[in-house]
């Protein structure tokens, strides 16, 4: 609360007056907005809980790549409720990484931690997998499909550890190949890819789950899709959760033969699967699901599922936004869309000129 001065003031005409106390309007600073990772939440709606500051001045900046590469995806910055900004940094041309935490106010370094993350086979540099859980635990990728964690990420130090989602000895062929998604209870999900034939998983990629207690499980891609050709989990494709967090959606397949699948979020038992098609020519051709894309499923307010795919035949940089019912059994009208994009949701209350209606 601020007040105007009460000092005497000589007015024109020789008349004296004394100003009265008057409360000014509140000067409330913007609070920090929690941003857990890819597209902000498990449904990938990319809706922030607070407004951004005016985009007029660079407050601070920090490098994310110490050996810049021409085509790269890097990773998603994360923000804690206490306004700590956490992001990966590529530290060498040998694709080594560390995670940095900086003050959202002035960019000062709070802590950094090296990662042993080994990239999966790729053309463009894939995203560095990491996420924040609602309880404030930070998870990020390490080698052999292992996930490291750090508690109290707002503090210069805190408990750390590592979790392997599969049993047995560390498997050097296993690479985490998608962003990590956390649900509201701190269970996390991510895709993994094999760099060669694995003694643990054979030749099929899969989706992994680590629960909040540290217990791991997985489902193979070919099991989720029901197709022996669907052995690859789409690189950079972040798993998405239904609003009730009972189903996790992700993409599997190859360049022109891809599936969008849904599995039980607790048991990873397959639930739904749809072979993706280019909507031109009456769905005559299957659509492309490619590793160079970061397109990931988005869950609409009504529970329907949006996913961007590459055209087949090739349609330049344009792709298609496909739209399905929650059980993937019904396909709605598609839209022209970049194949490397993830749909975001804009509430109709933010667009007063647009009548309220179901997302299309």
d(CA 212, CA 215): 8
DSSP 136-203: S-EEEE-GGG-EEEES-TTSS---EEEE-SSSSS--TTEEE-S--EE-TTS-EEEEEEESS-BTTTBT
pLDDT at 5 over 60: no
117 occurs within a structural domain: yes
User: Which pLDDT score, from 0 to 100, does residue 20 have?
Assistant: 47
pLDDT at 24 over 70: no
359 occurs within a structural domain: no
Q: Write the pLDDT tens digit of every residue in 120-162.
A: 999 889 999 999 999 999 999 999 999 999 999 999 999 999 9
What is the sign, positive or negative, of the torsion defined by CA atoms of 84, 90, 91, 96? positive
pLDDT at 6 over 70: no
154 occurs within a structural domain: yes
pLDDT at 25 over 50: no
pLDDT at 359 over 50: no
176 occurs within a structural domain: yes
Q: How many domains does the chain have?
A: 1
d(CA 102, CA 136): 15
2 occurs within a structural domain: no
Q: Which residues of 278-311 are buried (b: 16+ CB within 10 A; e: fewer)?
A: bbeeeeeebbbbbbebbbbbbbbeeebbbbbbbb
- Closest CA relative to residue 237, chosen from 178, 188, 279: 178
Which one of 271-275, 336-340, 342-346 scores highest in mean pLDDT?
Answer: 271-275
pLDDT at 1 over 60: no
3 occurs within a structural domain: no
Q: Which pLDDT band holds residue 355 (cuts at 50, 70, 90)?
A: low
pLDDT at 301 over 50: yes
| SS3 at position 348 | helix
pLDDT at 360 over 60: no
Percentage of residues in the chain with pLDDT exceeding 70? 88
Joined tokens for residue 283: 């769905």
pTM of structure: 0.87
Q: Write the pLDDT tens digit of every residue in 184-209.
A: 999 999 999 999 999 999 999 999 99
Q: Of residues 74 and 114, which shows the higher confidence score?
A: 114
322 occurs within a structural domain: yes
1 occurs within a structural domain: no
Q: How far is CA 147 from the centre of its chain?
A: 16
Q: How many Å is the maximal CA-CA distance in the chain?
A: 96
User: Which pLDDT score, from 0 to 100, does residue 16 have?
Assistant: 44
User: Which pLDDT score, from 0 to 100, does residue 157 have?
Assistant: 94
pLDDT at 78 over 90: yes
| SS3 at position 125 | strand
pLDDT at 353 over 90: no
User: Which pLDDT score, from 0 to 100, does residue 88 have?
Assistant: 97
Beta pairing partners, 338: 318
User: Which pLDDT score, from 0 to 100, does residue 32 have?
Assistant: 59
CATH code, domain with 334: 2.40.128.630
DSSP 45-111: ----SSPPPPTTS------SBSS--SSB-----EE-TT-EEEEEEE-STT--EEEEEEETTT--EEE
Helix, strand, coil percentages in the chain from 3-state DSSP, rounded to 5: 5, 35, 60
Q: Which pLDDT band holds residue 352 (cuts at 50, 70, 90)?
A: low
User: Which pLDDT score, from 0 to 100, does residue 27 have?
Assistant: 36
What range defines the domain where residue 185 resides?
8-50+58-350
């Amino acid at each position: 609360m601020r007040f105007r001065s009460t000092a005497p003031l000589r007015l024109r005409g020789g008349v004296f007056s004394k100003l009265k106390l008057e409360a000014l309007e509140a000067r409330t600073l913007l609070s920090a907005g929690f941003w857990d990772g890819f597209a902000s939440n498990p449904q990938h709606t990319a809706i922030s809980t607070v407004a951004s500051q005016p985009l007029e001045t660079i407050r601070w900046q920090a490098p994310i790549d110490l050996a810049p590469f021409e085509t790269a995806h890097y990773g998603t910055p994360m923000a804690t409720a206490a306004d700590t900004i956490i992001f990966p940094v590529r530290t060498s041309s040998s694709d080594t990484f560390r995670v940095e935490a900086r003050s959202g106010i002035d960019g000062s370094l709070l802590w950094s931690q090296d990662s042993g993350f080994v990239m999966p086979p790729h053309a463009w540099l894939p995203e560095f997998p990491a996420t924040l859980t609602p309880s404030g635990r930070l998870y990020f990728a390490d080698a052999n499909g292992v996930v490291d964690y750090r508690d109290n990420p707002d503090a210069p130090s805190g408990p750390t550890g590592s979790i392997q989602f599969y049993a047995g000895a560390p498997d050097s062929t296993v690479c985490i190949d998608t962003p990590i998604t956390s649900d509201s209870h701190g269970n996390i999900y991510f895709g993994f890819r094999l760099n060669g034939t694995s003694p643990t998983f054979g030749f099929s990629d899969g989706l992994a789950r680590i629960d909040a207690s540290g217990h791991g499980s997985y489902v193979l891609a070919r099991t989720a899709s029901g197709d022996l050709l669907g052995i690859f989990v789409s690189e950079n494709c972040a798993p998405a959760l239904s609003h009730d967090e009972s189903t996790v959606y992700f993409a599997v397949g190859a360049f022109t033969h891809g599936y969008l699948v849904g599995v039980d979020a607790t048991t990873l038992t397959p639930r739904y699967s749809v072979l993706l098609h280019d909507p031109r020519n009456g769905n005559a051709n299957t659509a492309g699901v490619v590793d160079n894309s970061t397109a990931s499923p988005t869950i609409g307010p009504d529970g329907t599922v949006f996913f961007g795919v590459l055209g087949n035949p090739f349609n330049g940089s344009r792709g298609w936004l496909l739209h399905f019912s929650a059980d993937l059994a019904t396909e709605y009208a598609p839209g022209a869309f970049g194949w490397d994009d993830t749909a975001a949701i804009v509430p109709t209350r933010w667009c007063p000129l647009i009548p309220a209606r179901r997302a299309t």
